[in-house]
Amino acid sequence: MIKLIDLLVEIGVDLSNYKGQILKGDVIRAPKGFPLGGEKLDKSLSLKVIKISREGVNRYKLSLEDTKTGKKYTVRNYQMDGEYKGKKLPKWGLIRKSKENTKEASDPQAGTALPYGSGFAPLEETKRIPRKPGQPAKSSKHSDLYTDEDPKGTIKGLGFKDASTAKQGISKINKAKTTHAHKVQATLVMKQRAKVAMERTKDPEKKKKLKAAYQIWSKKLEQLKRKTKSIKND
């Protein structure tokens, strides 16, 4: 059974030199020509993320501060990856991750953190960030793959032990009378769980079966991502 959770990965963006999460404290580059603050920028700006506000599923407002002048700006995460409502826009870039966020993004399996300004994340999606003692259940500061924080809309009977189980799960997701966002989250969690299990097991046969399931869930997730993009552009 899978329980839907408030995944931190939702804040992930595809920038010119980095694909992953942008969090409070990170410094990003607004590109020349991007419409920001009511006019197109005549030069690129170095902006620090000072606040992130959720506006919906995979929709966030980033409050920014110019690192030189202190001037404030806002931008939405879905406007930063080079296209919005079918129109091409200059793509944003990452200047550096804050030390705290780089530490939190460490791989709990391998024990390695993303390098500053890296354009390559070890995983396609963000790593699991365990919930810390005292943190609110739905805090955006954690993303636990195995915690039921919002059982409403649960899709039952999903699994990832082998290809057959993954295909059966996808069939259930396709038939589920729930929102597109719930289906995306369920598929993403199954993919992440399959990957973690695949990395942990030492049994070659189990690893082979888990890899097959991981590939099936990955393919389904890409299909849903294309639909998400289509919905955003409508």
Q: Tell me: the pLDDT tens digits for 141-174?
A: 544 444 444 455 578 888 899 999 999 999 999 9
Boundary of a domain, candidates 104, 126, 155: 104
- H or E stretch at 167: helix 163-175
Q: Is residue 182 part of a domain?
A: yes
**In-domain check, residue 168:** yes
Backbone angles phi, psi at 143, to 5 degrees: -150, 95
- For residues 101 and 24, give the distance between their C-alpha atoms in angstroms, rounded to a whole number: 8
pLDDT for res 107: 37
97 and 26 in a single domain? The answer is yes
Q: What is the DSSP string of 9-28?
A: GGGEEE-SS-EEE--TT-EE
| Mean pLDDT over each residue of the chain, to the nearest integer | 76
What pLDDT score does 32 carry? 93
Is 123 inside any structural domain?
no
The answer to whether the CB of 216 falls within 8 A of the CB of 166 is yes
pLDDT band at 21 (very low <50, low <70, confident <90, very high): confident
Is 143:7 a contact under the CB 8 Å cutoff?
Answer: yes
User: At 91, which CATH number?
Assistant: 2.30.30
* pLDDT given at position 82: 85
The rounded distance, in Å, linking the Cα atoms of 175 and 169 is 10
Q: Three-class SS of residue 170? A: helix
* pLDDT band at residue 19 under the 50/70/90 scheme: confident
Q: Which of 56, 80, 104 is the last residue of a domain?
A: 104
Confirm whether 143 is domain-assigned.
Answer: no
Flag whether pLDDT at 139 surpasses 60.
no
- By CB atoms closer than 10 A (0-12, 13-18, 19+), residue 21 is buried
Q: Would you say residue 147 lies in a domain?
A: no
Helix (H, G, I), strand (E, B) or coil at 136: coil
My answer on whether 21 and 96 are in the same domain is yes
- Mark residue 70 as left, alpha or beta (left: phi above 0; alpha: psi -120 to 50; beta: remaining): left
Phi, psi of 54, deg, nearest 5: -80, 130
Based on the structure, what is the number of domains in the chain? 2
Residue 132 placed within a domain:
no
Q: How confident is the model at residue 117 (pLDDT cuts 50, 70, 90)?
A: very low
Residue 92 and residue 171 in one domain: no
What's the pLDDT score for residue 162?
Answer: 93
Say how far apart CA 63 and CA 47 lie, in whole Å.
9
Q: How many CB atoms lie within 10 A of CB 138?
A: 12
| Domain end call among 104, 119, 151 | 104
In this prediction, residue 47 carries a pLDDT of 96
Instruction: For residues 9 and 58, give the distance between their C-alpha atoms in angstroms, rounded to a whole number.
Output: 9
Q: What is the arithmetic mean of pLDDT over 218-226?
A: 92
- 59-104: per-residue pLDDT in tens? 789 999 999 999 999 999 888 888 877 888 899 999 988 876 554 4
pLDDT 10s digits, 166-209: 999 999 999 988 888 888 888 988 898 888 888 888 899 999 99
pLDDT of amino acid 102: 55
Chain centroid to Cα 170, Å, comes to 20
How many Å apart are CA 54 and CA 7, to the nearest integer?
Answer: 12
96 shares a domain with 18? yes
Mean pLDDT along residues 28-54? 92
Average pLDDT of the residues in 10-24: 75
Q: With respect to residue 134, please indicate whether it lies within any of the assigned structural domains.
A: no
Domain range for 79 is 11-104
C-alpha 200/C-alpha 204 separation (Å) is 11
Are 15 and 82 members of one domain?
Answer: yes
- 89 part of a folded domain: yes
